Chains A and B, each alone.
Chain A
């Protein structure tokens, strides 16, 4: 058995919240850079140039990449040999978020009740997804999620007979409806299979994968590639003002499902597709 103190978890989460909001993961930054080189639209190229300048200013002058520093999504994978000491794990995660958003000058964007809408003033609670696996490691992914793009995400409960064509239509429709609102160039996370809630979590998790890494399943890999091409032919473009760069990547995760169903979730991220991973 391995013992991990909650203080260590708090410190890591705090640092990860800050890091994620000031420096974009290199896969996404390189994706924007490549898109800038290739973009032929006059307005599109200008927008992509602004995004690259923005990333430089964010780091140099210590200003968050985007003012929407997100609701904090946490994926935590706990080895079953790990014993957490020093208090509640959930409280530790939220304390890490609290300290990160305070010390990192990040915006507090969470309201305590969806209807009464009072700001909690510390960006907690986060959205925490736990996963228990063999081993003695603790793996944490922090993905601050802005809601301009979150609001444009959708779930489809397709029928098995809808097949691959139905999935493609669902993804394309979601991207079309998201249009300029989701701050393109976007990253598209797709969850296929499972149940109503499982496909949504898969889609979110898909957004945390490097955009250059394709699915290891050949038929899914092909679907990712075909969807990326189709999306970039839609002429939505950077900021939704036209051009060939609408998406930087399409990541799909799958899970077994029921004989009667084909759930599909499409989770859109803006170009600030923030994610930081650490293993303790």
Chain B
């Protein structure tokens, strides 16, 4: 049984999302991985604007393979989330409400998720062809020169994820070990 959620992911929607829930996401989400996080973090530290409004939005840790002609995007699965841990608490403090990636998060990120009532979703790593089918629109909106690591605005339909860490801090990865 899957829960359907639509972006923006406002805080009132968090109470329905529990660790272990299957969720299908529909709406706009933004891709950003290592290099884009570094850029965004530096922009915040310098007091500059971010390339998109992150309040109530979802960041997908993903850098796609190139699209063939006629395709919207290439393979588009999640990358390892923990490499973004250094930058994440600051973005959560600014209102980021959701993240999609794969794998465990640091203690600092989990605490920040609880403090800010946010959520971390896991998508299946290595299922980039399957997941790309749920991406209906894609455009680069920032850091074009980073190639695959540019920020993409994506419109997704029924994008399948599982709640890995909910807003109370329940952590699916801990329940296993």
Q: Which residues of A contact B (CB under 8 A)?
A: 43, 46-47, 50-51, 53-55, 57-58, 61-69, 105-109, 117, 119, 121, 146, 148, 151, 179-181, 183, 235-237, 239-242, 270-272
Contact = CB atoms under 8 A, between A and B. Distances in A.
Given A179-B173, A240-B103, A51 B127 contact: yes
Contacts of A181: 80, 82, 102-104
Interface string B54-67: 00000000111111
B75 interface: yes
Given A183-B125, A270-B125, A239 B130 contact: no
A186 to B, nearest CB: 10
Interface of B: 20, 22, 35, 62-68, 71, 74-77, 79-80, 82, 102-104, 122, 124-130, 132-133, 146-149, 160, 162, 172-173, 175-177
22 contacts: A53-B130, A54-B129, A55-B129, A57-B129, A57-B133, A62-B68, A63-B74, A63-B128, A64-B129, A65-B126, A66-B125, A67-B76, A67-B128, A107-B75, A119-B147, A151-B80, A239-B124, A241-B122, A241-B162, A241-B172, A242-B175, A271-B126
B35 A241 contact: no
A55 B149 CA distance: 24
Contact of B67 (A66, A105, A117): A105
A106 B125 CA distance: 17
B74 A107 contact: yes
A25 to B, nearest CB: 14
B173 A180 contact: yes
Contact of A117 (B35, B63, B82, B103): B35
Contacts of B62: 67
